[in-house]
């Protein structure tokens, strides 16, 4: 029954997009070829009456997505951070989805908490407010602990959200495969891979225990970061569908007028947002993967406070070093070194010309560095870099997708606070410190020490492992005979 269900859901989705006027907007953003446009419009038009009307006050794309429900809203939120897929204009429209959404009744939230934590809400909390924030997956209530009177934030999943997501994700896959078949040109956008990325992100957010673990790890990593804070987690009041953290008072990072009225230095805050993100990514290899304005607050003392840890990114130490060297090479305009790093890491096939690649990188970097500081963009650099590396046969590095996407989002937050920020100058101290610590003599000694530790752990087994390897080398296993060819003797007889 999945096929018919997916088809019906797809028809309703297309009808809603057609009815709200979002279909033309989306097709324009994706630069869809004419045959695909005609096919989709002809398919959706007869069913226009089946589509949801949505809120006419909203822009077409957000109007359609909001009307279709939580899974579509979450998908729109993720696409809002992927201008490389949907285009800059549509990405800006979709950012509306990061703001408040209609909440579900408080009575349902209390019922879910009582089931999850095994006690009535009135016994756990002396006060429990109406929803103070609502998103596509969960909503937040302000409460006071019955035992201590401490104010906390209680996050509760929407009722039935898991079932709704499973249903809609199947429809998304169905639509992505149809798009790839109807339009081979669309395969460069990898629609099926985009849906797979979306699915992995959402499944992690549907278990608040995983988010709680992420928050705890992130808090431990950043405990010594000056001017940065993570709310304290309350493990005994958290579970799969409920998470409780300390309440934080602050101003949203998008509220520029309020930040000014409070007397905060927006230029300093902008630089800190960028530097903290780079420090977390390079130093820790663990960073906030959804660091938009809605997930950042400015505390009374100017401290940046991170919220919502459902999407976190992780990169290994070697990849961090490669990424830092690439950024540092661009900062120093050492394009030859940037090219060499790509080849050393295996990002570009070895049979390509390193000098030609360095020249192509210079064509990427020089126009950007020639711009006024307020127009220098890490997002633009990454976009150009993707074009160049694609020409030279570089495959998509899945471990860098979230990092690159978040870098674009963080740059947007920094520019909201300080439109004239020089991205490169703000990045330089963090990248230089990391290069100094990870590539210099101290780093070599540290790497050797780790290697010795690994060898010492396997020391008792090394002789046996070496002997087994030598035996295999001396007595290689015979290659299996191919089943699709007859025996040589049979060929001779047949001849």
Per-residue pLDDT of the chain (495 residues; tens, 9 = 90+): 455 666 777 777 878 888 887 777 777 766 666 776 777 777 777 777 777 888 787 888 888 888 887 778 877 776 665 555 566 667 666 766 655 567 899 999 999 999 999 999 999 999 999 999 888 789 999 999 999 999 999 999 998 888 888 878 887 888 778 777 766 655 655 678 777 877 877 777 889 999 999 999 999 999 999 999 999 999 999 999 999 999 999 998 888 899 999 999 999 999 999 999 999 998 999 999 888 888 899 999 999 999 989 888 888 888 888 888 887 888 788 889 988 988 888 888 888 888 998 898 888 777 766 665 566 666 566 666 666 766 777 665 655 667 777 777 788 888 889 888 887 788 888 888 887 777 666 666 666 766 777 767 777 777 777 778 777 777 666 655 544 444 434 333 333
pLDDT of the residue at 493 = 37
Q: What positions carry a catalytic annotation? A: 290
pLDDT of the residue at 263 = 93
pLDDT of the residue at 52 = 81
Q: Of 384, 264, 247, nearest to 305 (Cα)? A: 247
pLDDT of the residue at 28 = 73
pLDDT of the residue at 373 = 55
């Amino acid at each position: 029954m999945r096929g018919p269900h997916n088809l019906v859901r797809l028809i309703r989705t297309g009808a809603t997009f057609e009815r709200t006027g979002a279909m033309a907007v989306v097709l324009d953003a994706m630069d869809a070829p004419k045959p695909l446009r005609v096919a989709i419009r002809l398919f959706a038009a007869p069913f226009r009456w089946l589509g949801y009307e949505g809120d006419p006050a909203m822009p077409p794309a957000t109007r359609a997505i909001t009307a279709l429900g939580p899974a579509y809203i979450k998908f729109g939120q993720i696409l809002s951070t992927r201008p490389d897929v949907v285009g800059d204009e549509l990405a800006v429209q979709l950012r509306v989805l990061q703001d408040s959404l209609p909440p579900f009744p408080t009575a349902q939230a209390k019922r879910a908490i009582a089931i999850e934590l095994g006690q009535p809400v009135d016994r756990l909390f002396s006060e429990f407010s109406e929803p103070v924030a609502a998103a596509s997956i969960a909503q937040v209530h302000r409460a006071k602990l019955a035992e201590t009177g401490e104010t906390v934030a209680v996050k509760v999943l929407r009722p039935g959200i898991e079932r709704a997501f499973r249903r809609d994700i199947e429809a998304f896959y169905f639509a992505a495969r149809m798009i790839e078949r109807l339009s081979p040109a669309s395969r460069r956008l990898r629609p099926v891979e985009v849906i797979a990325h979306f699915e992995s992100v959402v499944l992690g957010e549907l278990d608040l225990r995983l988010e709680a673990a992420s928050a705890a790890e992130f808090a431990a990593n950043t405990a010594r970061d000056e001017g940065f804070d993570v709310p304290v987690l309350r493990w005994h009041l958290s579970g799969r569908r409920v998470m409780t953290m300390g309440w934080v008072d602050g101003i949203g990072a998008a509220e520029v007028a309020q930040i000014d009225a409070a007397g905060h230095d927006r230029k300093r805050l902008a630089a800190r947002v960028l530097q903290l993100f780079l420090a977390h990514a390079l130093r820790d290899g663990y960073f906030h993967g959804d660091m938009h304005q809605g997930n950042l607050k400015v505390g009374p003392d100017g401290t940046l406070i991170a919220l919502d840890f459902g999407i976190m990114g992780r990169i290994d130490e070697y990849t961090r070093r490669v990424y830092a060297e690439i950024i540092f090479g661009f900062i120093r305009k050492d394009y030859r070194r940037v090219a060499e790093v790509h080849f050393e890491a295996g990002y570009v096939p070895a049979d390509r010309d390193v000098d030609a690649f360095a020249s192509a990188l210079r064509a990427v970097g020089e126009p950007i560095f020639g711009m006024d500081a307020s127009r220098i963009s890490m997002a633009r650099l990454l976009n150009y870099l993707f074009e160049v590396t694609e020409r030279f046969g570089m495959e998509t590095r899945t471990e860098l997708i979230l990092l690159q996407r978040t870098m674009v989002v963080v740059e947007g937050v920094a520019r909201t606070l300080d439109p004239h920020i020089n991205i490169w100058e703000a990045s330089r101290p963090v990248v230089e410190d990391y290069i100094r610590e990870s590539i210099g003599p101290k780093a070599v000694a540290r790497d050797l020490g780790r290697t010795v530790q690994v060898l010492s752990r396997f020391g008792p087994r090394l002789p046996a492992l070496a002997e087994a390897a030598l035996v295999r080398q001396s007595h290689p296993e015979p290659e299996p005979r191919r089943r699709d060819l007859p025996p040589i003797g049979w060929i001779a007889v047949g001849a």
